[in-house]
Structure formats: C-alpha cells, structure tokens
Amino acid sequence: MNRLISLAIILLIASCTPYRLIPAGKVEFADQGTVETPIDWNWRPFDIVHTWTLDGPNLQEMIFHMGVKDGKTLMEVLDVEAGFHPLLVWFGKVPDEVSFRFHKRMTEHEIVDLFTASMSKIAGSKVVSTQLAPATLGGKPGFRFEYAFTGKDQVRRKGFGVGAVFDEKLYLIHYVGTEIYYYDRNQADAERIIQSFTFKEKDKGKG
C-alpha cells in the first residue's frame, strides 16, 4: 500500500513538470539513438524514460526506453528493492514482492511479460499483450507486440511496442492511446517514428 502511494506521489509530481517542444525533424537520445518525427510533439523526461505526447499522457503517449541494462527495471520507480527504506533493511525486513527486471538473455516472450507486468503497476490495472511477432528496431532483430488495458478512469486504451536487445541492453519504444480517437489519430506518426529509429554508432560519434 505504501509503495502504491509512493508511486502515486511520484506520478503526480511528474504531472507538474512542464513539457517542452520537440520540433518535427531529427531527435537524438543522448548517445543511444535517433528518430525522425514528422510532426511536433511535447516531451518531458520521466524517471529514466523519455515520454512524448500531443494532448496529454492520458490521451496518447510515446514512451522510449533507451538502453535498459541487464538486471535493471524498465523504470527506476519500479525498483522495489532500491525503494525499500534502509532502516527497514537494518531491522531485517524485506520487501513483500520482487521487482520485474530485464535480463540480457530474456526471450521476446519474457521481455513482453516484463513489459506488461511493469506497465500494469504504472497503469494500476491489468495490461494484456497480444500479437507478438518478429520485427526489427534500428535494423537489429527484435520483436513487435500490441497491448491493451482499461485505466482507472474506465477508458479503454491500446498500444503497440517495438523492441530489440542490442549490446546487452533493451531498447523499447511503445505508443499508447485511448481506443476511441486518440490512438488511431496518431498511430501512423508513431509507426513512422519507430521505423526511423537508428542506433547511434558510438565509434563514429567520437573525434
């Protein structure tokens, strides 16, 4: 319960963070990769991910997980053990659940299970995935899947994601929106953005 409230506080504080403009064109994610967007978006960092929206995160959102390392959660806020108070550990207490973590040898099925379990905690309702299939991300072999859930606001939402494991890290981009109107309105834009993703060649960037 306390963890749920902590998560809610973090999400609410994040909701007070202003968005910044992402103009149409090329967008770089530090040393991880680039995408091309055909339209302007609103961007704000949240936790260790990049989130884009046009009308608000509860209406539609693109989320970029850029290089989740082996043994890490998709977002820091989902790391139950790291968020467990040291004093409780000192008194011999342990968290009553374990974090869902990415491991570099996970299969596509396992990664999608990790995603749905993680998203369920963020959304506060059960996220179900379908249509898992091979795909590429930035030219690397990966996977594609679709997902759906009904939010606490009773609004049905659907989404899709494309991911790949490269250099032992997970790269995953997904798009979600309300089943009525907002998902459909910008799905094609999201598809183009994901198709445009390229990994940054670190050696070429030096010098």
Partner 1 sequence: MRRTAGTLIVLAAVLLGGCGAQSYRTTERLVRTDAQPCIMLMPPDIELSERTAGGTTELNAAWTKAAEAHFATALREHLTSIGADFVEYLPPDDASPDAQLLDELQSLHATVGQAILEYHFEPALRLPAKKGQFDWSLGPEVAKLAEHGKADYALFVWLRDSYASPARMALQVVAALVVGVPVSGGVQQGLCSLVDLKTGQVVWFNALLPREAGDMRTLEESRATTHLLLDRMPK
Q: Which residues make up the interface to partner 1 (CB under 8 A)?
A: 1, 4-5, 8-9, 12-13, 15-16, 18-22, 39-42, 53-56, 58-59, 151-156, 178-182, 185
By CB atoms closer than 10 A (0-12, 13-18, 19+), residue 63 is buried
Best CA proximity match to 173, nearest among 151, 142, 130: 142
Measured from the CB atom, is 53 or 118 closer to partner 1? Answer: 53
| Closest CB 15 distance from partner 1, rounded Å | 7
Single-letter residue type at 12:
L
- Strands 60-68 vs 49-53: parallel, antiparallel or unpaired: antiparallel
| Closest CB 9 distance from partner 1, rounded Å | 6
Measured from the CB atom, is 103 or 192 closer to partner 1? Answer: 192
| Closest CB 175 distance from partner 1, rounded Å | 16
| Closest CB 28 distance from partner 1, rounded Å | 18
Q: What is 156-201 written as a DSSP string?
A: EEEEEEEEEEETTEEEEEEEEEETTTHHHHHHHHHHHHHHT-EE--
Measured from the CB atom, is 121 or 144 closer to partner 1? Answer: 121
Measured from the CB atom, is 31 or 40 closer to partner 1? Answer: 40
| Closest CB 17 distance from partner 1, rounded Å | 8
Measured from the CB atom, is 9 or 94 closer to partner 1? Answer: 9
- Residue matched to tokens 């530090």: 30
| Closest CB 91 distance from partner 1, rounded Å | 25
Runs of H (alpha helix) within the chain: 2-15, 86-90, 108-123, 182-195, 202-205
| Residue 128, strand partner residues | 148
Measured from the CB atom, is 20 or 26 closer to partner 1? Answer: 20
Residue 39 has φ and ψ, to the nearest 5°, of -135, 165
